[in-house]
Amino acid sequence: MAKLFEPFTIRNTTFKNRIVMAPMCMYSSHNEDGMVEDWHKIHYATRAVGQVGLIIVEATAVQPAGRISAQDLGIWSDDHVEGLAEIVRLMQQHGAKTGIQLAHAGRKATVDGDIYAPSAIAFSDSYRTPIAMTIEDIKETVQAFKEGAGRAKKAGFDVIELHAAHGYLINEFLSPLSNKRMDAYGGSAENRYRFLSEIIDEVRMVWEGPLFVRISAHDYTDGGMTARLYVEMVKWMKEQGVDLIDVSSGAVVPAAIDVFPGYQVKFSETIKEGAAITTGTVGLITTGIQAEEILQNRRADMVLLARELLRDPYWAYTAAKELRVEIESPKQYKRGWLF
């Protein structure tokens, strides 16, 4: 059996394979209320039919001001639970484990009204300048993540991922490029980590299941974070009960990035080895052979695909044929799934 299709267990939750659909915004909550719509039900269930082991639902905002766009999903209200529970049901009935990425866009939010960040610094000339968060703002946002986790539990998700990457709010606190605070939430690595630390502790009060954190392991800018610098913070995350680090990179500040197949895998290796923690890797992973190499060489423990699963919802089947592995098919498709 190829390692890609071996079952994998984290905190008493067993995934039937190591294929993960990375969270990708669908911009499809058209009433701008954060509610699940028909598109979400079809999109996510289709990847479950395609035999993806874990499907992580797109960045879901814990506060209205924390949406990347006004069409993002939300989890700031109990009213959101019913729709989220429906997509969980649709995915789980096809054998997929389900995750949700709890998020706050920070200074990269594009919704109307005030936007917030650790410091009053715009991402770029094309973005608005955010309001620097007060201590009260920070406490309210930490509480919003906790309440979002509670709602995710009610909806039946198997995994929660905290979005601490791609230049959104938690990432803005972690990086010295975007965090210029002079109080307990800025300056040293310990202080810049404090916001995420408080979120993890509060989430763990209501969530017993697998907890992932997505990080941007490299800022691609002088004075910014690197994978080696993140090792220290990841050790702290592990001590607090984080189970897996979803290792991405970039987007906290505008930067030139040399993109090539597997360009972020080296960051996963550094984090995995340096912090002795389970990792997932992302970034232009498109073939079964490529994914298998990453796993066999212990460069990561799970492989996250994004755009490739938009192009091919049945990528697991494609990869199985490539690796000459026979996998279970939906009974409705047995006549067409030939190995």
Tell me: is residue 109 an annotated ligand-binding position.
no
Q: Is 170 left (phi over 0), alpha (psi -120 to 50) or beta?
A: alpha
Tell me: is residue 165 an annotated ligand-binding position.
yes
Beta strand residue intervals within the chain, DSSP E: 8-10, 13-15, 19-21, 54-61, 97-103, 116-117, 131-132, 159-164, 211-216, 244-248, 278-281, 302-305
pLDDT at 325: 94
Tell me: is residue 164 an annotated ligand-binding position.
yes
What is the distance between the alpha carbons of residues 335 and 268, in angstroms, rounded to a whole number?
39
CA angle (38, 43, 48) in 5-degree steps: 125
Tell me: is residue 104 an annotated ligand-binding position.
no
Tell me: is residue 27 an annotated ligand-binding position.
yes
Residue pair 265/283 in contact by the 8 Å Cβ criterion: yes
Tell me: is residue 184 an annotated ligand-binding position.
no
Please write down the HEC assignment for all residues of 217-270.
CCCCCCCCCCHHHHHHHHHHHHHCCCCEEEEECCCCCCCCCCCCCCCCHHHHHH
pLDDT at 260: 95
Spatial CB neighbours of 31, under 8 Å, sequence gap ≥ 6? none
pLDDT at 295: 98
What is the distance between the alpha carbons of residues 297 and 100, in angstroms, rounded to a whole number?
28
- Assign 3-state DSSP to the chain and report helix, strand, coil percentages, each to 5: 40, 15, 45
Tell me: is residue 163 an annotated ligand-binding position.
yes
Helix (H/G/I), strand (E/B), else coil: 114:
coil
Each residue's pLDDT expressed in tens, for the chain with a length of 339 residues: 799 999 999 999 999 999 999 999 999 999 999 999 999 999 999 999 999 999 999 999 999 999 999 999 999 999 999 999 999 999 999 999 999 999 999 999 999 999 999 999 999 999 999 999 999 999 999 999 999 999 999 999 999 999 999 999 999 999 999 999 999 999 999 999 999 999 999 999 999 999 999 999 999 999 999 999 999 999 999 999 999 999 999 999 999 999 999 999 999 999 999 999 999 999 999 999 999 999 999 999 999 999 999 999 999 999 999 999 999 888 899 888 877
| 8-state DSSP, 133 | P
Helix (H/G/I), strand (E/B), else coil: 109:
coil
pLDDT at 329: 87
Q: Which residues pair with 13 in a beta bridge?
A: 10
pTM for the complete prediction? 0.97
Tell me: is residue 317 an annotated ligand-binding position.
no
